[in-house]
Structure formats: structure tokens, C-alpha cells
Amino acid sequence: MNPIFTSGANHRYHTDDYYQVDPLLGGDEALDELIAACHDRDMRIVLDGVFNHVGRGFHQFHSIVENGAESPYVDWFTIDGFPLNPYGKGPANYLGWYNLKPLPRLDTDNPVVREFTMQVAEHWLRKGIDGWRLDVPVEITADGYWEEFRERVRAINPDAYIVGEIWEDSTDYIADGTRFDATMNYLLTVEIISFAVGEHIDPPHVVPNPAYAGVGAIDAATYAARIDTLFARYPMHAHQANLNLLESHDTARLLTTASNDRASLILSTLLTMTFPGAPCIYYGSEVGVAGSLDPQCRRAFPWNESEWDVELLEAHRTLTALRHAHPALRAPGYRHLSTEGHLYVFERFDESERLVVAVNAGDDEATASISVSGLLWGQATSDQDHITVPARSGAVWRR
């Protein structure tokens, strides 16, 4: 979930009170009810931890606005002068995230601030949440901060999931198991979009972030080579925990990025659901919600079922069920089989089964010399030694 604590902003990245669920969302009681309902269904809840910056309504910051240098919280922030200028014209005279006035940055080098954020994390774990998604964690550079965060989180819940919002290489955070379990795997996102969306990419909707600089149409061989590079980047335990996403509240909706080409979304979802790690479906994509960059990518979910794209919904349902039904899709075993043109074929395996996944991102039917048995998903055909995959489609077989 994105941030749920009280805030003056609708997206709640401007935290006012870390110890209160926003009343607009139902307050603490609503979260308690949601946690119980999810746990009854063997589901888990991960909250968004925004510990780098706060909102102007945050009590400790507001105390400085009111009391100036006499406030006991002056050293919670980096301040250049008094009185503070959080609303007036001219630049801020305090450090804000990206120099934004509404987002004063906490000084996490201050041991009091550090302890405050640790206790917030512990509080909600004791309330029953199952992990933290950490906002802009690379900007918190206090020595040993994230190592301590992990130790304290795991002391309360040894199974808690800790995932960092890191758009580029995350080796320093996930490789040795001392900080996070996983990263938001935008590096994989870039490769999936480049291959599965390909020529359908609408450039203005590719998020203006350096991590997306490499987005552009590629063929199957290039995709395979880049996946090999990605596998070599992290140890397998990190790959199996990574949050593999196609879009988020910080990017355009994939359907919009793909020029409303529905096949692009289905092929991308197929690749995500058959990749090691934790596949992430951004709310609404399963029913065809579109939208450009923020705020359009944060549109409300359409509760009227008549507005749903039932074909997309069925694809998401069946691919999710496929992943649950076959342990090989959750195992580390992964091997390229064929990379001709725009037909990418790979094998997923564990000790009990082997599956073949084929994705044809091209505009023409494609064939590969692969031996398979029963078709599990998709509309492709096969004989004793070959598979044939229609244009802009994919399939999964038993090996």
C-alpha cells in the first residue's frame, strides 16, 4: 500500500502523524479490520515507510514554525535561518526533499530522529503488518541505519518483507542480506517494456527518470542477453524476493505507455508472472485502467464492472492461477531455449517439473524447434518437435 498515515496530501507522502491512519481512510480501526481480513485469507500487508521526509503539518516541524530557535526540535531538520519560510514566497530556508517546501527532510544522523523512525516501524509491526516498502532509501545515509532497521524489524517479525524503492542497481542494499530483502525491480521493468511493448512504446509516456533511459524496442536475443546481465547482477536469493513490477504510482500506466495496445500488457504480465521473484500488479491494470504520468497514473479504481476490460481481467486471473499452481514458476530454475527474431522461448524448472514459456512480441506468427507436451496457457500450437506461436501472443507448456 502507498502511505496511509495522516497527511495534507492525497498521496500521503507528506506525513503529518506516523502513529495515526488517516481518518479519511477509516483510521486505525479500518487498518485493524483490514489486517484481520487479509490474514484470514493468508494474505499479507506491506506498508509504505516514508522516513526521509515529512509534511509541513508534522508536529516537530510545526513546532519550529511556531517557536523558531526555541523549539526543542530544531535539530530534527537542517535549518538555514529563522523564521522558517514554509509557505511564503522565495526559497525554503531549510532542507527539503528535492528542495520542495512541502517536504522537510528529517536529519536521520540525529540519534533521536533515528530512534523515532525505528520505533514507528516497530509500532506498526506489532499492530500486525507484514513488512515495509521503503521510500527513497538511498537518501538516508546515516551509518548503519538500514542494518539496524532490519535487525529491529526482524526481531518483531522474522518473516517481515523489506523492499526498497531503488530505481537502479541495488546491489549494496540486497546482495548480502544485511539491509533489504528486495528492491522494486525497475531494471527488469525496462527490459520487459523494451521487448514486450517494443514498437508500441509511446515515448512521451516513458517516465522521465534516468533508469528508463534505455527503454526502446529490442528483439528476443537482446532481451535474453539483458536478462542474463540482470541475473548476474544479484544473488538468486535477491531475485526470488525482488518486487517485479510493470508500472507504479511514479510511472505512466503500462497500457498508456504501450499506446493502448492490450497485447503489450498481456505479454508483459506473462513475462512478469513467469520470472523469479514477487510479481506486482498495480491496482486497476487487471481491468484496463490507463493513465499518463502523475497524477493520471493514480486514477481511482473503477468499481462499476461494466467499465472493466474482461479480456485483460481473465488474462491476469489465469496467469496468477498458473503461477500458484506450478512451483517451477516460483523456483530459481531459468534457461533460455530460443531467441529467434521476436520469439523468446525459455524454460522454468525445479526438481518436480519443467515448463516452457514462449513470448512472440513480433507482428507475425513464429515457430521454434522445441519439444513440449501439454499446453497450460495460451493459444499456441505444437507438434512433436516444434511450437508455433501467433503474432503478439504467448503460451506455456509442460516440457
Q: Is residue 167 part of a domain?
A: no
CA-to-CA dists, residue 160 to 46, 130, 131, 329, angstroms: 9, 5, 5, 23
Report the CATH number at residue 277.
3.20.20.80
Clarify whether 17 is annotated catalytic. no
Q: Which of 16, 22, 48, 135 is catalytic?
A: 135
* Residue 89: Cβ within 10 Å count: 5
CA angle 127, 131, 135 (to 5 degrees): 115
- pLDDT score recorded for residue 247: 97
Residue ranges for the chain with pLDDT beneath 70: none
Q: Is residue 368 part of a domain?
A: yes
Q: Is residue 73 part of a domain?
A: no
Task: Tell me the longest C-alpha to C-alpha distance in the chain.
Answer: 81
Q: Is residue 363 part of a domain?
A: yes
- pLDDT score recorded for residue 211: 87
What is the full DSSP assignment across 201-222? --GGGS-SSGGGTT-S---HHH
Cis geometry, peptide bond prior to residue 104 (ω within 30 degrees of 0):
no
Q: Is residue 277 part of a domain?
A: yes
Q: In what order do the strands lie in the sheet with 375-378?
A: 333-340, 343-349, 354-360, 393-398, 375-378
Task: Provide the whole-model pTM.
Answer: 0.96
Q: Is residue 228 part of a domain?
A: yes
- Cell numbers standing for residue 364: 507475425
Q: Is residue 273 part of a domain?
A: yes
pLDDT digits (tens, 9 = 90+) for 262-304: 999 999 999 999 999 999 999 999 999 999 999 999 999 999 9
Q: Which of 48, 165, 181, 247 is catalytic?
A: 165
- pLDDT score recorded for residue 210: 83
| SS3 state at 312 | helix
Clarify whether 135 is annotated catalytic. yes
Q: How many domains does the chain have?
A: 1
Domain that residue 385 falls in: 182-398
H-run or E-run covering 134:
strand 131-134
pLDDT digits (tens, 9 = 90+) for 49-95: 999 999 999 999 999 999 999 999 999 999 999 999 999 898 999 99
Q: Is residue 268 part of a domain?
A: yes
